[in-house]
Structure 1
Amino acid sequence: MELVPGNTLITATPEEGRALAIKLARLTVKATQPDDAVREHLRSEYAEEHATGLISVAQVVALEFATIAAANGYWR
């Protein structure tokens, strides 16, 4: 499984960086729980947790995005 698509964090724009951050977060979940059926079952459980699960997802994506932004020199 390729955990860093194209083996780079470099993106042309912040928008592409944000999309990469979301992809990295999703790949992390898949790497952590490779069984599709289990992930599907867990997805329905965390969907019912409302704010807690969504905030946790947002935090992971924000951390990934901060790492990507730094790697890109904050697109200066």
Structure 2
Amino acid sequence: MELIPGNSLITETPEAGRRLAMDMALHSIYAIQPDGEILKTGRTVYATDPDELIASSQVVALEFATIAAANNYWR
């Protein structure tokens, strides 16, 4: 499994960086829990729990912060 799609944190735009952050978060989840059925079962819990949704957003935000720094904040 490729944990960093394209093996690079460099993106042309912040929008592409945000997409990469979401992809990286998703790849991490699948690396941690490779059983698709268990993941599917868990969705009913976190999809309706505001705390779980916020935690998921925080993971993406951390990935995006790393990508933004790697891209010198697109300056």
1:62 match:
61
How far residue 48 of structure 1 moved from its aligned partner, in angstroms, is: 2.5
The one-letter amino acid paired with 2:26 is: R
1:27-53 per-position Cα deviation (integer Å, ceiling 9, x unaligned): 11100000000000011111132x101
Looking at structure 2, the residues matched to 55 and 48 of structure 1 have their Cα atoms a distance apart, in angstroms, of 11
The one-letter amino acid paired with 1:22 is: M
Residue ranges of structure 1 left out of the alignment (5+ in a row): none
- Name the % identity: 57
1:22-75 per-position Cα deviation (integer Å, ceiling 9, x unaligned): 1111111100000000000011111132x1011101110110000000000100
Q: How many residues align?
A: 75
What's the C-alpha RMSD, in Å, of the aligned pairs? 0.7
2:51 match:
52
The one-letter amino acid paired with 1:34 is: P
Equivalent residue of 1:34, what SS?
A: coil
2:73 match:
74
Equivalent residue of 2:31, what SS?
A: helix
TM-score by length of 1: 0.95
TM-score by length of 2: 0.96
